[in-house]
Structure 1
Amino acid sequence: MKRRPRLLPDWRDILRRAWSLRLILLAGLLTGCEAVLSAMGTEWLPVPVWARMVILFGVLGAAFVARLMAQKDDDGHHG
């Protein structure tokens, strides 16, 4: 019997507090900006393509690390 995926009971709190999700959203925003800039042409940008990719990789790496770390809630407890 297959188990259906379910949201965690405190998913709203997780959305508000989890740094990993904030960093993943930032990575998505940076990826979208990169796509738009690539379509417009990037010759005028002072930042080379490799540097933009390093920044994006750094944000994704930080999100990965943040997801594995215990994060404190408002009461100071690890969640």
Structure 2
Amino acid sequence: MTLVANWRRVLKRAWSLRFIALAFALIAIDVALPAFEEALGLPPRAFAVLSGLCSAAAFVARFVPQPSISEGKQ
């Protein structure tokens, strides 16, 4: 496995990675705070649904051109 040449730029600017990080955070919250769902007034499994949506957004974002990363190359 070889990293892309501009991996630092991708790490800082890729929307797919941002969505993946958000999905990870939501999954961690879903695991760590199930007792607070009712106290917060959230429906059951709210964090799981949100993390699923973030994962889907990351999948789509991976295929959308992001000029700030590729410097106009597609």
Partner residue in 2 for 1:28: 24
| Matches of 2:5 and 2:71, distance apart in 1 | 20
**Displacement of 1:78:** 4.5
Within 5 A, what are the aligned runs for 1:1-79?
Answer: 5-38=1-34, 41-42=35-36, 43-73=38-68, 77-78=72-73
The one-letter code matched in structure 2 to 1:71 is Q
Relative to its length, the structure with more helix (as a share) is: 2
What runs of 5+ residues in structure 1 fail to find an aligned partner? none
Q: How many residues align?
A: 73
Alignment deviations for residues 6-65 of structure 1 (CA, whole Å, 9 cap, x no partner) = 111110011111000011001001111111102xx2432311124333222111111110
2:39 alignment partner, SS class: coil
**Displacement of 1:75:** 8.8
What's the TM-score, normalizing by structure 1?
0.76
What runs of 5+ residues in structure 2 fail to find an aligned partner? none
Greater mean deviation of Cα atoms: 16-25 or 46-55? 46-55
